[in-house]
Structure formats: structure tokens, C-alpha cells
Structure 1
Amino acid sequence: MAVIKPEGWLLDTAENREALRSPANLLRAEEEGRTVEARALVCDSSHNLIVDLGCMKGIIPREEGALGLDDGTTRDIAVISRVNKAVCFKIISLPHPPDKMAVLSRRAAQEEAVRLYISKLKPGDIIDARVTHLEPFGCFVDIGCGIASLIPIDLISVSRIAHPRDRFRVGQDIRAVVKSVEGPSRVCLTHKELLGTWEENAANFTPGETVAGIVRSVESYGIFVELAPNLAGLAEPKEGVKPGQHASVFIKSLIPEKMKVKLIIVDAFDAEYKPEEPYYYITGDHIDRWVYSPPGCEKVIETVFK
């Protein structure tokens, strides 16, 4: 199976830079049917994209701007939002004389991405993705040539978050797992399985330590504090603590058979620390089953990919 990367990954490769160096090189890329990337300069009033090819300019007509524009399943914002960013495309025709614009098709590049790569993905496949925008309900990512997919907020990590921006930023490159495939180009993703089991995360902490954490929720019976994206503990109630605050917490105990971490909040405070880059415990390209809970635990938490 061919692997096609998110839009922008080709832009600074040696082969792509060489293709943009001269009209002759662009002609060779056209003849070979290669996907090329360049920066979109303008989206005109008719929603055609004007692209900087280095040695000339090119135009992606609106109808060639993205899969689904012709039947309304994709909105024009998918084209407008590419201005000043990399766009992928196939070269349809080069101008004669060369002072006119080349005609390009982003839709053709996306069709190839679907045919050769996205339509062949299976649940459990681990793929590269690039964060494109964040909504309260989840994180949208590009999984190849600008094809969008969603990681629902509850599948981002085991530790619950208020908004995907608590984990990700736009433009960030991440890994994700195919959760389900609902059509040739419709793929739903999950992320939490890559962030480690309870045991793997708990191994980084020892009772008696005071460590950093983030307050995720405040309940009448205690305060949930995240120690890692896939590990949270319950602290005793403390006056004035609010969700979203950073904290220093004392670890009283780790109880694997109940997947519990007992904490005491030493201090809680407001801070604007950026989310850390995710650490992935799984480095392969596929998983069939992931078990979060430790062996012998009273409750089994797992994901089975079918």
C-alpha cells in the first residue's frame, strides 16, 4: 500500500523543490503524473486558487479545488483556508507561452490519495496526521493530501479534557489509529491507545514523590488531577482549586488492581504552559487490540480493532 502524507509534507523535499525549479522540470512532473506541492497565494472571488510555482504561477479552478466541492459534501472554506499554505496538486497543463498560468488539480491528487492509500486503511492501522483545526467536540486532522478526518474529544486521551486545544495545536504533526472506516474516504480516528497503558504511565511515578499535574475536574468528593495524558488521580478536596489550573501534587499511593492514584494537592495555580508533545508508547504501524487496565484489575478497559 502506498503511504500518502498530509498536505505540506512534500513542500520542502528535494524532489519537490527540483520540480518547481524550471518549466522543464514541471513538464517532467506532469508527464510522470507526480503530485507536487506549492504555496497558494490568493483565492479569487470565484474561489480559484492562485499558486506560486516558483518559475511561474498556476491556477487551481474552483471545481478542481477539493473532492466533494461538486456535490456540496465539501464546503468552499476547504479551498479558501488554503491561502498562504501548501497545496498538493497534479499538473493538468502547462502554458504556452510560459507567461500564462499552469492549470492544476488538487482534486486529482486527492482522488489518487483515496484510491492508493485511504481506501485501503483498516481499523488498527497507525498513521501520520496533521492537525488542521480544533472544535469543542474533537480534533480535525489531515490524513493525506488534505483529506480530513476526526478524532472525537473522548478518544484523544484517557484523561478527560475540556477542549482539544488542551492536547493539540493547529499545524502539529501527530500519530493516530484508524478506529473505523465508513467509506472510501471517510475514516474515524482514535489517539488514546498510543499514549500508554495504566501500568506504563504509572511506572513513571513513585509514592512519596511530589510531581506536576493539571486539574481536570473538581467534584464534591475530590479533585481529579492529570499526571499524564493517560493517567489521572483523585486528590482530596481543597478550597479554591479550579479546573485547568496547574498543580504540584503529592503521590500517596498507586493501586494497580483498582487503577487508582491517590493524591494530595500541595499547590494549585494559574499558568499558561503549552501542551507537551505526545509521547507514543506504540511505534509500529498496526495494532489489533489494546488493553489499558493492568492484569488482574477488577475492571477491564480495552479497545479491539476489527
Structure 2
Amino acid sequence: MESDYEHPTAIDDLTPKMKLRGTVRRVALFGAFVDVGVGQDGLVHISEISSERINRVADVLSPGDEVTVWVKAVDVERGRISLTMIEPPERTMQDLRPGMMLTGTVTKLMPYGAFVDIGVGRDGLVHISEMSTDYVKHPSEVVGEGEEVMVRVVNVNRRKGQIQLSMKDLPADEIEDEEEEEALSTAMELALKEALARKKSKSQERQKKRGSRPAHDELDEIFSRTLKLQRD
């Protein structure tokens, strides 16, 4: 959509991930120079033209081509603009923190684990020992390629570009189960309490008609024993 594009007029206006419309000015062996309307052409390196391998820039781009680019980095002092034609992910490795719960897609299975795309531009690894609390002989016993899974971030090594993930100890599921169990238990206790209260009320009415006091202690004991059995 046209409304998605930014329209900066100076290099100072550029920020990472900004979406721009540009015109290819010239191509080189290592990439293409693109005019994005700020008075300084930006460079799209050959590795940033497509997610697929490209052997020659001239095979896919020519001077005068209108292209969509995103800002990767800006060096205002040196007048350098780094661009990409690969749409950047919403989340990056810099955003990852140990303990984060994420949804990802299994992209590849190996004997030692599964690689999962969590939307940061680099797949994370769920080691086979982190796939289940039970023994797993091969990752295919637990997941398949293309399957959506819930994972927890264990560790992030930004220098090496490595992301360690786990499919074990997912607290969100445990909390949800505990809340459902607690809600069910509370509802049953309230229903039982109301039923016993009605029974007690009817008993009191009958006792009044007979002119004697109701057996309060006996009813209270029944109520307490029943609740104790329900909790156990």
C-alpha cells in the first residue's frame, strides 16, 4: 500500500526499518545504488536483494527500476545509507530475552534437534534434550517440519547469532491448567454450599413446626467433610 511508505527528505530523517520507494541509479558487482529522495544514494548489497541466492546483480536489477527498500543502517557523518530489499522481521535478536514465550514454525529437523523460525530473521535451535521431559530418540517423534510450536527462549548469543530454545517447562500452560482447576473447584464448592444451605433452611422450617431446634452441628459437620473430600 502507498500509505505504508515513508517520504523522508534528508538523510537525518532516516531510521532503521523505514520503508521507502526508490529508483535504481546504477548497479555494481557487489550491489545496487538506489535513490530514495534524500540527496544521497543508498546501497543495497547483493546479499540484501533477495532471500534467494543471486549470482549477478544485473540479472535482477537495472538502472531506472522502481524498487521497495527498507533502511538497514545510516551513518550520517559519513553519508552512508545501507538498504535492503528483504522485508525486515517485526522482532529482532536484540529484542529476545531468556524466558520469553514465542510461537514459531519448525523449519528443519536434525538428529540433534529442531530449528524453529521465531520471526527474527534467524532460526533458533531446540536441542533434542529440550523437546520433552520424556526420552526422545529423534526429533521427528515430537515435531514435524512446518509444524507450529510454542517455545521458550533459553539463551541468546548475539555475537555468534545463536538462539537456544526449549519446548519444556512452559509455565503459561501450567498456569492456565491451574486456573481452570481452581475455577472448577470453586464453582463446585459454591454449588455444594448453596445446596446444603437450602437443605439446612428446610430442616429449620420443619424443626420450627415441630417446636424443636435444628441439628446445626450435624449439618456443619456434613458440610465440612464434603468440602474436604472435594479438595482432596
Task: Give the TM-score of the pair, scaled to structure 2.
Answer: 0.42
- Give 1 or 2: higher helix fraction: 2
- Give 1 or 2: higher strand fraction: 1
Bigger Cα Rg: 2
